[in-house]
Amino acid sequence: MAVLSADRDLRELLATSRRIAVVGLSDNPSRISNRVSRYMQRQGYIIIPVNPAITEALGEPAFPDLKSIPGPVDIVNIFRRPEFVPEIVDAAIAIKAKTVWMQAGITHPEAARRASEAGLQVVVDECIMVDHSRLMFQD
């Protein structure tokens, strides 16, 4: 299974990605999904909220699911409990996303394997904000 974990691979992924669909993004500014996504938005990434319970977040319209998003998705960033990961990964594969990123504390080895076998890059149990701030501002 090709799970990205090497700094050079994560740096390359972050440098070449622009559109991040955030599954489970909350419109509540105190929630970690909102804080992480707000940070990434401030770094120039296009954040696409995916949450059927909201209509917008961070000034962007929210979509009920991945298949409703118009256009390509570089990273599907998952802020949902592990039991929801397999269906999210299946949807990411269906929309031909380039990468599935399971946030810190989120793992699902079987779903990660399926994503990898389908040709997606996979990041597991990592915070995209922490990795971005650590990797993208080095000399």
Domain boundaries of the chain, sorted by first residue: 7-135
Task: Render pLDDT for 22-62 as a digit per residue (tens, 0 to 9).
Answer: 999 999 999 999 999 999 999 999 999 999 999 999 999 99
CB atoms closer than 10 angstroms to residue 110? 10
Q: What is the pTM of this model?
A: 0.95
Comparison of pLDDT for 32 and 5, the residue scoring more:
32
Helix, coil or strand: residue 123: strand
**pLDDT value at 121 more than 70:** yes
The vertex-74 CA angle with 53 and 135, nearest 5°, equals 105
Residue 74 CB partners (closer than 8 Å, separation 6+): 16, 17, 18, 19, 20, 97, 98, 99
Comparison of pLDDT for 4 and 51, the residue scoring more:
51
Please report the pLDDT score of residue 1 as a whole number.
45
The CATH superfamily holding the domain 7-135 is: NAD(P)-binding Rossmann-like Domain (3.40.50.720)
Average pLDDT over residues 83-95: 98
